[in-house]
Chain A
Amino acid sequence: MEAINILEERKKSIFEKGKENHELSCDKVSLAGSVSQRACVFCGSRVVLYPIADAIHLVHGPIGCAAYTWDIRGALSSGPELHRLSFSTDLSETDIIYGGEKKLEAALDELIDEYKPKAAFVYSTCIVGIIGDDVESVCKKVSQKKGIPVIPVHSEGFKGTKKDGYKAACHALFKLTDREPAQGISKCSINILGEFNIGGEAWIIKDYYKRIGVEVVSVMTGDGRVDEIGRSHGAALNVVQCSGSMTYLAKLMEEKYGIPYIRVSYFGIEDMSAALYDVAAFFKDNLKIMDKTKTLVREEINKIYPALLEMRKDLTGKKAALYVGGTFKAFSLIKALRHLGMDVVLVGTQTGSPEDYKLLKELCDEGTIILDDANPLELSKYIIEKGADLFIGGVKERPIAYKLGLGFCDHNHERKIPLAGYSGMLNFAKEVYDTVMSPVWKLTPRMEKNGR
């Protein structure tokens, strides 16, 4: 590997624990000219809202934005599959000149007449922000005409980062709350926020909560339904996963409905258990819940522990590099990998905040590299330097890992198997084990060189 140039400005975004002591620079848009792995506002909104399966998701813009987001993520639905279709206004040159409002209205009319959905989301892409369509008023008009909520999502790509897209999605979701009567909801009830039912994960988590005696009013947005979200203001607690995407909605709901929230992760044994115990502790008046939680945690851990220990034998001392969307996910992954006996040698994230990075620095071992918004050269440089055996990342990182000759595990929205919960931890361990221990790496130059 030849030496690579790290730009002065980028140096502030790279940190090696034990060696340097500067604040990690983050929370900015990528440097112009970088081969960034980052996506846009629209992407953030689309990821969050897309699993709502009985709503129409109309992308208002030229075809590309819609085409690239057509069913590329594995959010499952137990009923309608409307979210898996790609609807676009496919703006053309004349629309750009004369405005796309008429087309938007006509498209909404056609869609709503055909599908009678419970709601419609209209995503504004970059160009809509420039040509100045009044999406808001078109939505209002159609909403009145058709009698369903038609919600504009202000997701113009240039107006920030993916995080801002999450926020726009939270605003959209918030508009759907308090639309249905909240009667008949148990005192011990929660909303699950920030869980998208990738590979059926929301079903696993819902089942756990049900088993400890807690009612789940709505999941936002995995296998989501508009009417459930409409009752969500009746829940006693919001349980928020993944700090990045939905804390904002939890705050809005706390302000308006007085619903407190806790932050959890369902990934890895400790975090999953904490997610259950924290909820049980919240409903402390109901002692049965805590008892049931203890039983559940014990049972579930017993189910997977022997298999985990077995895999740990071989994985101990292997090295992992992470490049994930949010720092919260990184925390969980680091803990889970440690469970498997692995060392984390590199952590990169796309959207960390300064506080996140402070926590991350504390959690990491000496010598771990921490990167904000890394480019492929930086990633490959440190992977080789640190001798990683496993890379955990998303679609654009996968072929880089393979070219270098190391194992890969997708921990992004594109994965197909559930990694949440106890059974998910076992799936994750198996994935890691299978890729790290695969004999194919012995065929590659990296391993030949290392004589393994």
Chain B
Amino acid sequence: MKMEAIDKSKLLRHTPNEIKERSALTINPAKTCQPIGAMYAALGIRGCLPHSHGSQGCCAYHRSALTRHYKEPVMAATSSFTEGSSVFGGQANLLQAIDNIFTIYNPDLIAVHTTCLSETIGDDIPQIVNKAAAEGKIPKGKRVIHTNTPSYVGSHVTGFANMVKSMVDYFSTSTGKRKQQINIIPGWVEPSDMEEIKRLTGLMGIKSVMFPDTSKVLNGPLNGKFIMFPDGGVTVEELESTGDSIGTIAMGLWASEAAAKALDTKCKVPYAILDLPIGLKATDRFIDAMRIMTGVSVPEAIEIERGQMLDIITDMHQYFYNKRVGLVGDPDQLIALSEFLVSIDMWPVYVVTGTPGKAFEKRIMEITAGSPYEVKVKAAGDMFLFHQWIKEEPVDLLIGNTYLKYISRDEDIPLIRHGFPILDRVGHSYFPTVGYKGGIRLLEKILTAILDREDRDSEITNFELVM
């Protein structure tokens, strides 16, 4: 142990200031593995039990992680691989699992995702599912869908995107008759965000199918019962009808593009890929895309919400000036957040995602092109590197998941929790950050963080009552 470097008051006392090139090591990851994303997406289908085809440990971890984030029961089954399955393949396990799941838990459908283990063994899921059907293990009217989620590729976001694409592959059908509805692929956002997006389409008077939809599944009420399949989520019929929609709005390149493209290829439904509607401009683009796609006009109620958000921005703009912000999270979220921050004169200076993809780095550099500061951005990065950047030159504000709290404490920088996972606060399940209303909440959070800090740090003589 390098004793001279240890400062006992610091939690991350083992993070050296000096940055060394690391070739093989990830420290304090800014991502996790694919299956958890697939599990989260699958929970957004009504009556669906996600199923992890691998050993039981992965499934236990994924459920625990989602449970900690949502403080809700998270249900998923596992193939419970043993040594035998690792040698002979997991077919027997999956067949038995399908049989057992429909007997005991009786979901409407099972959404199978793979794990590193079953991927490497090379199990052919569709073939096994066909066999299950042939053997009569899938009751009439029930479905089994699947997606491949090898965790050594991409990240949890990739797994989410894969499962959403599978929804299209398995369900979307074109009957040849267009329906007056649009598809919305919300990307990896919170149940509260999905609710807010639905509220906005409702205000616009547009009929939409959103998939996945985890609202009311992972932010359900307490009603004295344990309900395995809550009354939330997109239904199979709705998913089938996506092939007849007039268009698709896909939010976030990383989480939603695959599904939108597949739907276009399969059913000729044109799509628009937008950033997540976080912040004024991105929400404007979302509302505009809906308007153009359907030809409706924007109602006054939405104009008012927009005006309210703008009002807060101008009222308080003096507190935003040139603030330096460090962000860690998922690509789609970071892109939208960065654009929002820049638009109010706050500057993302360090931006890290664990998800690989050079396009991310390029996009962030474009968004921050006019920055007065040097901007550092990294895809496939980790929080260790992010911390070292901060040690070189600090920031005024951190935005990211709960794991940033160590850095926040050690470096005494306020943290706004955003993204996945949030293990130590509530609110994300209920209050959206998308749309104008969500923008208002984000602004409130940013301002509270900044102003609390000013209050705490100001001299007695300068302590302000009115801010």
Contact = CB atoms under 8 A, between A and B. Distances in A.
Contacts of A34: 77-78, 80, 100, 104
B14 A32 contact: no
A67 B30 CA distance: 9
Nearest to A379: B226
B120 interface: yes
A68 B354 CA distance: 14
A43 B75 CA distance: 20
Contacts of B354: 63
Contact of B224 (A36, A80, A449): A449
Interface string A77-110: 0001110111111111101100000111111001
Contacts of B20: 110, 114
A444 B225 CA distance: 10
Nearest to B22: A110
Interface in B73-123: 73-83, 85-86, 92-94, 96-101, 103-106, 115-117, 120-121
A402 B222 contact: yes
B100 A7 contact: yes
Nearest to B228: A377
Nearest to B86: A158
Given A106-B23, A127-B117, A403-B226, A36 B56 contact: yes
A64 B14 contact: no
B151 A62 contact: yes
Contact of B24 (A7, A107, A158): A107
B65 to A, nearest CB: 6
Interface residues of B, number: 88
A158 B83 contact: yes
A35 B77 contact: yes
Given A63-B26, A157-B58, A81 B11 contact: yes
26 contacts: A1-B225, A30-B56, A30-B80, A31-B80, A32-B78, A32-B97, A33-B77, A33-B99, A35-B77, A36-B78, A39-B60, A41-B57, A61-B116, A63-B354, A64-B116, A65-B57, A67-B33, A91-B152, A93-B153, A111-B25, A157-B55, A157-B58, A396-B63, A403-B223, A404-B225, A445-B225
B104 A375 contact: yes
Given A40-B60, A404-B224, 15 more contacts: A4-B104, A31-B96, A33-B104, A34-B100, A35-B76, A35-B78, A36-B59, A65-B58, A87-B25, A92-B153, A105-B24, A159-B83, A395-B64, A396-B60, A404-B226
A413 B63 CA distance: 17
Contact of B1 (A43, A106, A116): A116
B281 interface: no
Contacts of A111: 25
A177 interface: no
A63 B13 CA distance: 23
A84 B11 contact: yes
B31 A67 contact: yes
A4 B25 CA distance: 47
Contacts of A68: 32, 61-62, 64-65
Interface in A394-414: 395-396, 398-400, 402-405
A39 B27 contact: no
Contacts of A405: 222, 224
A160 B318 CA distance: 60
Given A67-B33, A130-B121, A399-B72, A92 B83 contact: no
Nearest to B151: A62
A29 interface: yes
Contacts of A117: 1
B85 A158 contact: yes
A89 B223 CA distance: 44
Contact of B152 (A32, A41, A62): A62
Contacts of B29: 63, 66-67, 70, 86, 88, 90
A307 interface: no
A62 B1 contact: no
Contacts of B223: 403, 445
A380 to B, nearest CB: 4
A85 B13 CA distance: 10
Contact of A157 (B2, B49, B57): B57
B104 A5 contact: yes
B24 A89 contact: yes
Contacts of B222: 402-403, 405, 444-445
Nearest to A394: B64
B68 interface: yes
B228 A64 contact: no
A426 to B, nearest CB: 26
B184 interface: no
The 8 closest A-B pairs by CB, nearest first: A40-B57, A64-B33, A445-B224, A33-B97, A33-B100, A106-B24, A68-B61, A380-B226
A131 B14 CA distance: 32
A376 B226 contact: yes
Nearest to B81: A158
Contacts of A126: 54-55, 57-58, 81, 86, 115-117
Contacts of A64: 32-36, 58, 61, 116, 151
B379 to A, nearest CB: 13
A17 interface: no
A54 interface: yes
A44 to B, nearest CB: 9
Contacts of B100: 7, 31-34
Contacts of A444: 222, 224
Nearest to B75: A35
Contacts of A89: 24-26
